[in-house]
Every structure is written in structure tokens, then in C-alpha cells.
């Protein structure tokens, strides 16, 4: 019979027509609007009430109470008009139905007894529950009209269910059933509206051995563990908080302050029994932030994750937020953000610290050390270099410094000033760059600078993999004709191994050694003397950095330390100042005399 129906609604007209088209009529319609009378199978005249109901339902808020009240209001006149003696809607939906899918299943029953026709349209809902729409009439043809009414009513309920499902899907994490970030936003908004946010503590928790779990026990078990956490949380803290998955194995848990202790305990010893019966200890690291009345979602996330980051760095499992943590993060962020422009605008300046030969006090070299001139203030490297190292930008800086050094050396050469060998610092992280040696060499060659003017300072490395990379780098650099020095020698653990396996030209004794000399015990001096002897026996040059006093200089010279660098002679100098050292007399002996 009918394939499709079309509704023509006329504004402010009491009677409307609903026409059913058969298949042919629909095809005909594709060519041209059907002419009246040609296509009609039959017509039903219905009242404006019906369309009013459709309009009202379409516009109403998709809430059960609203839909019911619209139905209640509009049904009687429609029923009357449709020749229905009775219309009833029976709804039976379990409370948690919205968790399951709606089964799209319509059934229309009809029966006749004593001249009364009964109609029933039933909708089964997957996961339990039904919506039944019932009608009675003494006219058998009212069946079609009833069906029309019932379908419209059903569509409204369907809309309601779908929208509730959608609402839920929007705030729910598919895998675990925990809420997602939108759920967190909603939860926090509600707490803020009711002024209860400060009753809560936010935990940012991450499973530390999750990678291991996935690799060793399989993804399936990994997923189960995530699910179990959401479930377990709900069991333990129903009504006292909620759990939100931010992705991967990262969760935010909001609990009432009084429950924080309990949650801490749960995270400290959390075991999951796998399908295989095996029990696995799941380790967490977490950051905790106790909300105050001003806290919003941003604070909850940022502060609990800042505490978590601090837990990671300090190696502890649970750390509570402190304001300094965010200051660190802000500083880090501002460095990373400003760094590209700083490079571009040459806010990073190279300072040169003289190196003085101990036997004749001649300026024989210098170390290039960078300074960031930020808003007229000098930012020391210890404030930004560790950040750049951590976030992988240090190579950019190091190559930039090399280029600046080359530009300066080129300038001196062009001005007829004889430069001294300048050492540049190369971070261990730079070894991740493929062809690092070639890269360095290309920059230097761009300025046509004799390789004898450049020395590369590398720090001690740990681990055999890094060590072999470093051996290769040093070989490459030496093949290009650069001198290599090992920086901060003696501060690491692998010092003697380094000495044996690395083909460096110069050993720079760590500042800590020289500092200790002032409070010198006899044994310190013996160690120093022998280290210097050993290095010299290996035909390497020894340089002492961080030399601040006359006594230190005296001792270092007496044990045969070749070169001295430190505040005693000069701090790192801006280029212009260092220029003076290069152009004037290169001997510090004359300056020593004037000092006296
Ligand atoms: P470093 O390579 O060990 O550099 C020596 C540091 O000791 C410099 O600190 C220098 O100013 C300081 N110093 C020199 N003489 C004395 C002294 O007599 N007493 C004391 N107390 N300190 C002295 P600075 O310039 O603050 O640099 C710190 C560290 O930052 C450097 O340690 C180096 O590791 C890193 N750095 C600096 N520039 C660069 C760069 O361009 N690239 C890389 N990768 N690291 C750099
Ligand atoms: Ca250095
Ligand atoms: Ca050093």
C-alpha cells in the first residue's frame, strides 16, 4: 500500500490534507509536482490540532515532562477529530534505560470486539522498557489515523531517547564508562553553580606501569584495567565524587575533601584481577589539588597536573599542589614561547670568558657562553638552558651560538685582529641530531673560518648507547680538525671510563673541584695533583674553570694545570669588552701588576 506520505500544512487553515502516495505517484512527483486529484489514493481531513501538536512537539524542550504535557494537551482534540474513542500512551522505561540503545522496533496491533476496534502500537526498547500507544474506535478506518498519531507520538519519544543518549555519549568515555572532559566541565559547572566546588579535591592520576601492562599483558587487559578503575571508583565513591578519563591512562578524580584520604589509599594499593585469575598491582602517580571557591575546570586540571609533574620529577607517588609549581610551569611556558622570537631578534647574546695560560698568563682562548637579554635584563643560562634541553630546543640554541661566534670571529679577522680559540658548548641532547658534526662544520665553513679557532665542549655522558654516539661524534669532529674538550670533568660517575674511551684533547676540571680547594683538605689536593698528572700523562691539556682566588691560581699553576678560566681573571664578557682583551696586550701579567 502506501510508500510514503507528505504533509501539506496550511497556515491558519482549519483543514489540512494528508495524502498517501503510492510508488508511482512518488516517481511522478520527481518530474513534477503532482496535480491534485491525479495521485490521491485517498484523503483524510484532519484538524489544525494535529499540526499544532507537531509544531509544539518539535519546538518543545526534549525533556520527558515536556513531551508528556504536550501530548496530554493535544491528544483529546485530535482523538475526537480522528474518530478515536480513546487514546492512551503508556510508557514504561527503566531509569537506567538511557544507558542502552533504543531498539527501533514498531509493532501495530489491532483487534475488534463488539464493534470496538482496538489499536496498539508498541515500541520495545533494548535494555528493557516499552512505549505503548493505545487507541480505540468504533470505526475500522480509524486505524490509519491512529497509526499516524502513534507514529508522531513515537517519533517524539524517540527524539527524547536519542537526545538523552547523545547527551550521555557526549560526556561519557566510550571505553571505560567514566565521564570525559565534557563531563568534567559539566560536573564542575554544576558545583560552581551550587557554590560547592571548594568541598572537593581533584586528583590527576596516571598509571605508571601502563605501558608495561599493555606490552606484557596485552591491550585487552590494559583496557580492562582502565574499565575496572572507573567501576571501582563508582563503587567506592558513589555520591562522593566522580571519575573522568582525559585520554589514555590519564584520569581526573573529583572527591569530597573528606574522601581524599580514602582515595589516596586506594591509589596506593590498587590490584586488579585479570580474567586469567592473575592479580596485578597497578601503580599510580598522582597530583592532588584542593579546590577553593574560585577554582574552575582550568585550575583543577592545571594545578593537579602541575602537582603530578612534580611527583614525576621528584620520584614520589602522590604530591599535593603548591603555588610554586605553577610558577615553574609558567616560567617554562614563557621561555618556550619567547624562544623562537628571541633567536630571530638576536636577543640571545654570546659572552666570552677568557682562558689564561698559567705559565705566562697569556690569553689563549675563551669560552662562548650565552645570555638572554630579555626586556633589558640578563637572563642567565641556567634559567633557560635546562628548559630548552627538556623540550628539545637546545640544538637550535647551540647552532645559533656557533653561528654568532663565527660571525664575531669573521669580524675580528676582517678587522685584522687575531682571535683566540673559542670553545662552544654542545649539549648531550644535540647528539640526537643526525649529522651533527657536519651541521656544525657547515656553519663554520660558511664564514670561512679556520677550524683551529673552534673548540667543542662536550659533557660526560652516561650509558653505553650515548657513549658510542659520543665516540662517533668526537671522531667526526676531530676529522674536521676541531679541538674537543670534556666539560665538567669529575662531576659524573663515568669519569675514568670517559678518559679511557674518549679521544678528547682537553679536560676541563669541574668547578666543584676548584671550589673545594679553598677549604682544602690534604686529600683534595692530592687528588687534584694526581688527576692533573694523569691527564697530562695522557697528553691531554688540563684547564681549570671557576677559579676565583689568587690561592687557587697559585695551587693550580704549581701542580701543572695548563690553562685557567674564572672570575679571578675575567667573568664572561660582552663582545665589545672581550674585544678590548683581544686588541690590547693579551697578557694578564700586566693587568696583575696594575691590580696590585
Ligand atoms: P659551563 O659550561 O660549565 O660554563 C661555565 C660556567 O661557570 C658559566 O656559567 C660561567 O659564567 C661560570 N663561571 C666562570 N667562571 C666562574 C667563577 O670563577 N666562579 C663561578 N662561580 N662561576 C664561574 P654560565 O655562563 O651561567 O653558564 C652555565 C652553564 O650553562 C654552562 O656551564 C653551560 O653548561 C650552559 N651554557 C651556557 N651557554 C651555553 C650554550 O650556548 N649552549 C649550551 N648547551 N649550554 C650553555
Ligand atoms: Ca662549558
Ligand atoms: Ca663547565
**Confidence at residue 41, expressed as pLDDT on a 0 to 100 scale:** 32
Give the pairing of strands 377-379 and 4-8.
Answer: unpaired
- CB 246, CB 297: distance < 8 Å: no
Nearest protein Cα to ligand 1, atom 10: 572
pLDDT single digits (tens) 74-113: 777 777 777 776 666 665 554 444 434 444 445 566 777 7
Cβ 370 under 6 angstroms from ligand 1: yes
| DSSP secondary structure letter of residue 180 | -
Cβ 567 under 6 angstroms from ligand 1: yes
Q: How far apart are CA 499 and CA 532, in angstroms?
A: 12
**Confidence at residue 126, expressed as pLDDT on a 0 to 100 scale:** 58
**Confidence at residue 396, expressed as pLDDT on a 0 to 100 scale:** 96
Q: How far apart are CA 451 and CA 455, in angstroms?
A: 8
- CB 207, CB 284: distance < 8 Å: yes
Mutate to test the pocket of ligand 1, among 381, 387, 547, 574 (most ligand atoms within 8 A of CB): 381
Report which bound ligand comes closest to the CA of 564: 1
Q: How far is the CA of 369 from the centre of ligand 1 (A)?
A: 6
Cβ 425 under 6 angstroms from ligand 1: yes
| DSSP secondary structure letter of residue 539 | T
CB-based contacts of 198: which residues, under 8 Å, 6+ apart? 291, 292, 293, 295
Within 13 Å of residue 38, how many CA atoms lie on the same side as its CB? 11
| DSSP secondary structure letter of residue 503 | -
**Confidence at residue 385, expressed as pLDDT on a 0 to 100 scale:** 95
Question: Which regions in the chain score pLDDT beneath 50?
Answer: 1-45, 94-105, 596
Nearest protein Cα to ligand 1, atom 25: 369
Q: Name the E strands within 9-50.
A: 15-21, 43-47
Report which bound ligand comes closest to the CA of 423: 2
Q: What is the CA radius of gyration of the chain?
A: 40
Ligand 1 closest atom vs CA 430: 44
Distance, CA of 333 to chain centre: 13
Q: How far apart are CA 515 and CA 533, in angstroms?
A: 19
Nearest protein Cα to ligand 1, atom 13: 546
Helix axes 48-59, 64-82, angle to 10 degrees: 170
Distances in Å between the Cα of 238 and the Cα atoms of 201, 231, 254, 560 are: 15, 10, 11, 74
Report which bound ligand comes closest to the CA of 489: 3
Q: How far is the CA of 566 from the centre of ligand 1 (A)?
A: 10
Q: How far is the CA of 460 from the centre of ligand 1 (A)?
A: 15
Give the pairing of strands 541-544 and 506-509.
Answer: parallel
**Confidence at residue 103, expressed as pLDDT on a 0 to 100 scale:** 42
- CB 355, CB 457: distance < 8 Å: no
Cβ 566 under 6 angstroms from ligand 1: yes
Q: How far is the CA of 459 from the centre of ligand 3 (A)?
A: 8
Cβ 572 under 6 angstroms from ligand 1: yes
This prediction has a pTM of 0.61
pLDDT single digits (tens) 528-541: 899 899 999 999 99
Within 13 Å of residue 10, how many CA atoms lie on the same side as its CB? 9
Amino acid at each position: 500500500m502506501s510508500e510514503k506520505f507528505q504533509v501539506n500544512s496550511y497556515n491558519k487553515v482549519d483543514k489540512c490534507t494528508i495524502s498517501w502516495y503510492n510508488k508511482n505517484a512518488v516517481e511522478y512527483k520527481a518530474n513534477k509536482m503532482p496535480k491534485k486529484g491525479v495521485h490521491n489514493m485517498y484523503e483524510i481531513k484532519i484538524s489544525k490540532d494535529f499540526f499544532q501538536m507537531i509544531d509544539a512537539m518539535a519546538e518543545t524542550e526534549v525533556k520527558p515532562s515536556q513531551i508528556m504535557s504536550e501530548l496530554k494537551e493535544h491528544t483529546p482534540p485530535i482523538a475526537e477529530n480522528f474518530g478515536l474513542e480513546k487514546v492512551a500512551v503508556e510508557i514504561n522505561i527503566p531509569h537506567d534505560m538511557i544507558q542502552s540503545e533504543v531498539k527501533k522496533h514498531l509493532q501495530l496491533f489491532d483487534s475488534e470486539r463488539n464493534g470496538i476496534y482496538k489499536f496498539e502500537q508498541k515500541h520495545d526498547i533494548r535494555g528493557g522498557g516499552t512505549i505503548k500507544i493505545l487507541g480505540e474506535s468504533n470505526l475500522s478506518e480509524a486505524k490509519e489515523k491512529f497509526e499516524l498519531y502513534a507514529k508522531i507520538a513515537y517519533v517524539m519519544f524517540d527524539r527524547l531517547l536519542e537526545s538523552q543518549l547523545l547527551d550521555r555519549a557526549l560526556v561519557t568515555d566510550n571505553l571505560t564508562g567514566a565521564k570525559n572532559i565534557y563531563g568534567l566541565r559539566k560536573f564542575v559547572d554544576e558545583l560552581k553553580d551550587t557554590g560547592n566546588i571548594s568541598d572537593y579535591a581533584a586528583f590527576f592520576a596516571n598509571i605508571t606501569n601502563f605501558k608495561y601492562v599493555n606490552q606484557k599483558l596485552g591491550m585487552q587487559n590494559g583496557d580492562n584495567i582502565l574499565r575496572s578503575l572507573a567501576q571501582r571508583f563508582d563503587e567506592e565513591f558513589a555520591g562522593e565524587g566522580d571519575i573522568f578519563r582525559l585520554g589514555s591512562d590519564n584520569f581526573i578524580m573529583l572527591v569530597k575533601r573528606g574522601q581524599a584520604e580514602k582515595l589516596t589509599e586506594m591509589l596506593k594499593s590498587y590490584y586488579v584481577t585479570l580474567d586469567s585469575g592473575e592479580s596485578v598491582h597497578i601503580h599510580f602517580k598522582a597530583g592532588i589539588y584542593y579546590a577553593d571557591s574560585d577554582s574552575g575546570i582550568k585550575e583543577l586540571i592545571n594545578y593537579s597536573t602541575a602537582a603530578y609533574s612534580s611527583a614525576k620529577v621528584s620520584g614520589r607517588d602522590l604530591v599535593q599542589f603548591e603555588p610554586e609549581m605553577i610558577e615553574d610551569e609558567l616560567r617554562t611556558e614563557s621561555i618556550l614561547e619567547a624562544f623562537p622570537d628571541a633567536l630571530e631578534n638576536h636577543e640571545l647574546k654570546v659572552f666570552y670568558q677568557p682562558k689564561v695560560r698559567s705559565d705566562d698568563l697569556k690569553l689563549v682562548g675563551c669560552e662562548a657562553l650565552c645570555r638572554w637579554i630579555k626586556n633589558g635584563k640578563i637572563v642567565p643560562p641556567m634559567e633557560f638552558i635546562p628548559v630548552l634541553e627538556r623540550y628539545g630546543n637546545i640544538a637550535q640554541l647551540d647552532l645559533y651560538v656557533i653561528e654568532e661566534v663565527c660571525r664575531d670571529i669573521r669580524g675580528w679577522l676582517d678587522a685584522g685582529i687575531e682571535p683566540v680559540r673559542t670553545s662552544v658548548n654542545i649539549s648531550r641532547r644535540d647528539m640526537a641530531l643526525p649529522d651533527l658534526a657536519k651541521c656544525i662544520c657547515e656553519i663554520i665553513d660558511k664564514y670561512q673560518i679556520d677550524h683551529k679557532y673552534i673548540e667543542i665542549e662536550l659533557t660526560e655522558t652516561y650509558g653505553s648507547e650515548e657513549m658510542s654516539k659520543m665516540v662517533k661524534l668526537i671522531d667526526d669532529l676531530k676529522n674536521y680538525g676541531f679541538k674537543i674538550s670534556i666539560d665538567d670533568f669529575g662531576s659524573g660517575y663515568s669519569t675514568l671510563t670517559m678518559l679511557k674511551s674518549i679521544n678528547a684533547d682537553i679536560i676541563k676540571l669541574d668547578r666543584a673541584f676548584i671550589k673545594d680547594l679553598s677549604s682544602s683538605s690534604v686529600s683534595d689536593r692530592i687528588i687534584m695533583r694526581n688527576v692533573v698528572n694523569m691527564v697530562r700523562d695522557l697528553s691531554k691539556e688540563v684547564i681549570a674553570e671557576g677559579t676565583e682566588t689568587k690561592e687557587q691560581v697559585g695551587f693550580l699553576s704549581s701542580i701543572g694545570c695548563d690553562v685557567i678560566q674564572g672570575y679571578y681573571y675575567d667573568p664572561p664578557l660582552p663582545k665589545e669588552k672581550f674585544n678590548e682583551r683581544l686588541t690590547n696586550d693579551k697578557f694578564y701579567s700586566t693587568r696583575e701588576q696594575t691590580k696590585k
